[in-house]
Amino acid sequence: MQHFIVIGNPISHSKSPQIHHAFAKHTGLAISYQRQFCPDDKDSFVAVVQAFFHGGGVGANVTLPFKEIAYQLCADTGNLSDEAACAKAVNTLAIKDGKLYGDNTDGRGLVADLIGQGVSLASSDVAIVGAGGATRGAILPLLKAGARLTIYNRTLTKAQSLATDFDALSKHPLSIKTLDELMRAKHDVIINATSATTHGQHLDLGDCQANFAYDMMYGKPSAFLAHFAAQNAKICDGYGMLIHQAAYAFELWTNHAITADCLSQLKTA
C-alpha cells in the first residue's frame, strides 16, 4: 500500500482522492490517498510534510494556500523541477535521491487539456488574464508549446515582472497589457487565471473576442465563459486541467503513465 495526500486549507472540496484512486485502479496499484487539512502557516505546513514523508509517505499534492511555501521549502532543503523553479510554486512533492523534490504540473496539465480539446498552440495568439501564481505556473509550458503570449493584469508592474523572468525563454517577447485593453482585444485563445470565478466576481470583458475560452477554475458558474459562449466560441473549464496535472504527479510518484482512455473516462464521469 502506497500512501499519498493532498495538503490544503480548505481541503474538503478536493476531488484529488477520487482521481488518484481511479488512476490506481487503472494501473493495478494499491494506494491510499487522503485529504490533509493544514493550519494556514509555514510551520504547520513544514510539520505536516515532514511527518508524512518520515512516516513512509510516497507523494503529496499541494493546493492553496501552500504552493509558494512548498516552493521555498524545496528551494531551501531539496530540489526543484524546471517548471517549479520558473513558477516559484510547487503542487507536487516527492522524495528523489533522498531529498525533498518539488514539481509543478499545473501548466503541463493546462497545455495537455488544451491540446486534448483540439487547440493548436504552436504560433497561436494566447491571452492570459491575471498575473498571479496560476499564470506564472502556466507560462513555461505554454511557451514550450509554441504559443505567443499576452498577459492582461490590473497592475502592470506585476505583469512586467513576469515578462522579465520569462522573455529569455521565449521566441516572442511576452506582451503586457492592462485590463482596459482587454475589453477591445481579440485572440485565438484566452485563459482566465484569476480567482474571479471562485469568488463569483465578474471581469469587465467589454467587446473582448476569442475563438476558444478557458477558465482554470471549475465547479462554479463562470461569467467569463458565459461571455464567450454568447459569441459561439468554444469554451472549457479547468476540470480537465485538474485531471491532467494529477496524471503527471501520479507518473512521477509511481512510474506508471495514465492512458488517454482513462483520462477521457474521468473527464466524462
DSSP 245-261: HHHHHHHHHHS-PPPHH
Q: 3-state DSSP call for residue 183?
A: coil
What kind and span of H or E run contains 9?
none
* Higher per-residue confidence, 158 vs 31: 31
169-183 pLDDT, tens per residue? 777 789 999 999 999
Average pLDDT over residues 185-198: 88
Q: Looking at residue 196, what is its pLDDT? A: 65
Q: How confident is the model at residue 198 (pLDDT cuts 50, 70, 90)?
A: low
| CA distance linking residue 106 with residue 227, whole number of Å | 25
120-132 pLDDT, tens per residue? 999 899 999 998 8
Grid cell at residue 78: 531539496
Average pLDDT over residues 253-266: 94
Percent of the chain topping pLDDT 70: 98
What kind and span of H or E run contains 147?
none
- Among candidate residues 15, 25, 42, 67, the one labeled active-site is 67
134-154 pLDDT, tens per residue? 898 999 999 999 999 999 999
84-93 pLDDT, tens per residue? 998 999 999 9
Q: Looking at residue 193, what is its pLDDT? A: 92
Q: Looking at residue 25, what is its pLDDT? A: 95
- Which residues are CB-contacts of 173 (< 8 A; sequence separation ≥ 6)? 163, 167
* Higher per-residue confidence, 76 vs 160: 76
Cα torsion 259, 128, 166, 159: sign: negative
Q: How confident is the model at residue 250 (pLDDT cuts 50, 70, 90)?
A: very high
Q: How confident is the model at residue 199 (pLDDT cuts 50, 70, 90)?
A: low
Q: Looking at residue 162, what is its pLDDT? A: 84
- Residue 67 annotated in active site: yes
Grid cell at residue 194: 484569476
Q: What is the model's pTM?
A: 0.92
Q: Looking at residue 9, what is its pLDDT? A: 93
- Which residues are CB-contacts of 237 (< 8 A; sequence separation ≥ 6)? 214, 215, 217, 218, 219, 222, 225
Give the CA distances from residue 147 to residues 82, 100, 188, 211, in Å, rounded to whole numbers and listed in that order: 18, 32, 10, 15
